[in-house]
């Protein structure tokens, strides 16, 4: 790793090409910034749309699973109420309150 750092010059204070850019060139580049940002948004937007088209069905599937599980939890007391009542009765007989 040290050899790579030495060959590339990473970590040194010498930054190349800093004296090659004039203030006029910086001002001209700044005027291009809005167009560059719009172009980047369009380019990255394509990737975002492709990602959403792949992920939305998977997310919807997981949400459906969670909704189904939620319904099962809501129905649990209705189906198991007799069992809970019997268990409570057994517990009270086994461990009476004094």
Query: Is it the case that residue 84 has pLDDT exceeding 80?
Result: no
- Residue count of the chain, please give it: 98
- By residue range, what is the domain housing residue 72? 21-94
Question: Residue 33: what pLDDT?
Answer: 94
Which is higher by pLDDT, 61 or 17?
Answer: 61
Is 6 inside any structural domain? no
Is 81 inside any structural domain? yes
Is 85 inside any structural domain? yes
Is 33 inside any structural domain? yes
Q: Which residues contact 10 (CB under 8 A, 6 or more apart)?
A: 4
Is 11 inside any structural domain? no
Is 3 inside any structural domain? no
Q: What average pLDDT score do residues 6-14 get?
A: 73
For the chain, what is the domain count? Answer: 1
Is 69 inside any structural domain? yes
Overall pTM > 0.85: no
Provide the pLDDT confidence category of residue 30 given band limits of 50, 70 and 90.
very high
Is 82 inside any structural domain? yes
DSSP conformational letter for 30: H
Which is higher by pLDDT, 47 or 21?
Answer: 47
Please give the mean pLDDT across all residues of the chain.
82
């Amino acid at each position: 790793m040290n050899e790579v750092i030495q060959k590339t010059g990473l970590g040194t204070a010498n930054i190349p090409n800093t004296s090659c850019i004039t203030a006029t060139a910086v001002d001209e580049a700044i005027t291009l910034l809005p167009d560059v940002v719009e172009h980047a948004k369009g380019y990255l937007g394509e990737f975002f749309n492709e990602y959403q088209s792949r992920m939305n069905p998977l997310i919807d599937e997981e949400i459906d699973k969670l909704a189904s599980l939620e319904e099962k939890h809501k129905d649990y007391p209705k189906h198991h109420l007799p069992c809970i009542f019997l268990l409570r009765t057994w517990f009270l007989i086994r461990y009476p309150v004094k």
